[in-house]
Amino acid sequence: MQFNNKIVLVTGASRGIGREIAKQFAEKGATIAVHYNSNQSAANDTLGMLDGDGHIIIQANMDDADGIQTMVNSVVEQLGRIDILVNNAGIYDEHNLTDISYADWQANFRKTLDVNLIGVANTIYCAAQHMIKQGGGRIVNISSRGAFRGEPTAPAYGASKAGMNSMGQSLAKLLAPHNIFIGTVAPGFVETDMAAEILAQPRGEEIRNQSPLGRVAKPEEVAHVAVFLASEGAEFATGTIIDVNGASYLRS
């Protein structure tokens, strides 16, 4: 599959899964808008890893609705359009109900939902306005197995990803007549900066052994599925959620 002359906006592309997604699209000929929140240096590092030229970096806080609109419009102004949107940016923060205050509980839920769900909803809204005008597009959301199996010590994260899944399926039905197709990738643990601290703890070995492969996913494995969902020929998979968790959690 090739993405020559395609414009791809990848949120959270300064590291981890987002960086690998950006790299794989660029390898296949796409021009990438590398989004970052605060780490411009890492975003520039990603930019330097991309095949081809014409790529840009773009900043936005994912809990800032106006900033998201400015980001999307800026990508269109600089690169002409957005053919593919990959919603990868997200946060994870453990907040055990039995160990934190009521105020901290509320704050954690508010922040996590603002970034992981409402921020994604706003990005989709803004990008879809341009996609409808240009005759179509692709949207790929990066979710989590936590949406299905639960996240006991990070319930806001699980809730935000479950909401993302439902939203993606709802919008897949709404936007299909506009030639806009939406797919979701639901990884388990992945070797990223976000998961490194947890995987380094004593329970890291137990986490790796949740999969019969005896390991967690590599970022490039998640990226491969994201690229597939955005490819020509995958249109009839719109609304789907693909698990990439090494059989660590199986759902019916």
Between residues 10 and 194, which one has the greater pLDDT? Answer: 10
Q: What is the 3-state secondary structure (H, E, C) of the chain?
A: CCCCCCEEEECCCCCHHHHHHHHHHHHCCCEEEEEECCCHHHHHHHHHHCCCCCCEEEECCCCCHHHHHHHHHHHHHHHCCCCEEEECCCCCCCCCCCCCCHHHHHHHHHHHHHHHHHHHHHHHHHHHHHHHHHCCEEEEEECCCHHHHCCCCCHHHHHHHHHHHHHHHHHHHHHHHHCEEEEEEEECCECCHHHHHHHHCCCHHHHHCCCCCCCCECHHHHHHHHHHHCCCCCHHHCCCEEEECCCCCCCC
Q: Which of 36, 102, 125, 157 is catalytic?
A: 157
Q: Whole-model pTM?
A: 0.97
199 vs 82 pLDDT, higher one = 82
**pLDDT surpassing 80 at residue 194:** no
Q: Give the model confidence (pLDDT) of 163-188 as tens digits.
A: 999 999 999 999 999 999 999 999 99
Please check the confidence at residue 69 and state whether its pLDDT lies above 90.
yes
When pLDDT is averaged across residues 192-214 and rounded to a whole number, the result is: 90
Predicted confidence at residue 197, as pLDDT, reads 84
* Averaged pLDDT of the chain: 97
- Domain at 7-244, CATH homologous superfamily: NAD(P)-binding Rossmann-like Domain (3.40.50.720)
Question: Which of 41-50, 84-93, 114-123, 192-201 is predicted with the least confidence, judged by mean pLDDT?
Answer: 192-201
pLDDT tens digits, one per residue of 215-232: 999 999 999 999 999 999
User: Is 249 known to be catalytic?
Assistant: no
Q: Write down the domain spans for the chain.
A: 7-244
Is pLDDT at 202 greater than 90 in this prediction?
Answer: no
